[in-house]
Structure 1
């Protein structure tokens, strides 16, 4: 009987420790919330990745000293990417209205480089009325670099078997040093902008 109670106590203690770890001390009820809290506490340097024109992503971000709001899309998407596009249109409008283009810019990165070549991305940006001074779109052609970058940002992309993808979506705040600092869900563009401005 005592052995059984001791074994149950050990199992309960292990389960409690696992719950405490998984929820960041019970402050997060999901692994996504825990990840967002961890990034807010300790900025995450971006892995090395190169854009379609050969520039290194981190160097391109650091080059102009602006905070960058990053999302991940593909141009054939008609669901989450459309919602992200709407958020980014709102952000662009707010950057213009407040004259914040010298402090914050927007970057949409496609995870579908086979279809989203530079001309396709340019047409996509035109449809969204993106101002190139405020909002660029690019891709990471190298599959290993792209996988590492998606993993760092917590983006999961799964082919759906019909040529499209199932994926999650967020707005990521990357500081002028190229470090991931905050993550916001769809519709969280106002807070993402506030966080970006607070980093300057």
Structure 2
């Protein structure tokens, strides 16, 4: 009888431990991020497995963008700064996927993000894949359209193409599920994003 009691205790403790390890975070949706292995600004491979165990904020940009991407990237940089001020830089990472990998090399992305105020202590700018791959990845994992279109009235020193793409900043859980989005072009959303991350992490 005593042996059976100990066995039940061990089973119960194991069940409670598993429940604690698979926390359900309240969000607006739940999109499972598919497996990927891309290159960051330093030529290092970054995969979804590398990101597991921490929250991360994702966005989709291209450096020739003249509308949404500059404020999005600046707001990501501001969120990164606020996360560091809160002492949470080890618990939150930032990931930018270029949707124009043919132009956005590692160095181009590195220069662009630094120009907008970001650093690479906990931020990866990813490239090194085909345009078809990132289009499929964005649509499958984040339910976000990516489409290349001609740019109207482009100047001589500007790119002749543009992209339709999401301007959202997505929160992804340590288990690899996108659960919330914020409009990335609006500065007032930086605090909302950071406060939500604090709520999840702390």
Length-normalised TM-score, structure 2: 0.70
Distance across 2 between alignment mates of 1:112 and 1:170: 17
Q: What's the counterpart of residue 46 of structure 1? A: 33
Q: What's the counterpart of residue 93 of structure 2? A: 105
Please tell me whether residue 153 in structure 1 is matched to residue 142 in structure 2.
yes
Which of these residues, 57, 68, 74, is aligned with residue 47 of structure 2? 57
Q: What's the counterpart of residue 107 of structure 2? A: 119
User: What root-mean-square deviation, in Å, do the aligned CA atoms of Structure 1 and Structure 2 show?
Assistant: 2.2
Distance across 1 between alignment mates of 2:74 and 2:44: 29
Which of these residues, 82, 98, 112, is aligned with residue 70 of structure 2? 82
1:196 Cα deviation (Å)? 2.4
Matched-pair contact (CA < 8 Å) for 2:74–2:117 = no
Q: What's the counterpart of residue 196 of structure 1? A: 197
More moved, 82-91 vs 67-76 = 82-91
1:113 Cα deviation (Å)? 0.5
Matched-pair contact (CA < 8 Å) for 1:49–1:140 = no
Deviations 1:75-123 (A, max 9, x none): 1111100110121122022122222211112111111100011111111
Q: What's the counterpart of residue 13 of structure 2? A: none
Matched-pair contact (CA < 8 Å) for 2:79–2:193 = no
Matched-pair contact (CA < 8 Å) for 2:97–2:126 = yes
Give 5+ residue unaligned stretches, structure 2: 1-25, 151-159
Q: Residues 40 and 124 from structure 1, CA distance in 2 versus in 1: closer, same or farther, beyond 3 angstroms?
A: same
Distance across 1 between alignment mates of 2:131 and 2:70: 24
Q: How many residues matched?
A: 160
Higher strand share: 2
Q: Residues 163 and 77 from structure 1, CA distance in 2 versus in 1: closer, same or farther, beyond 3 angstroms?
A: same
Which of these residues, 173, 181, 184, is aligned with residue 183 of structure 1? 181
Give 5+ residue unaligned stretches, structure 1: 1-38
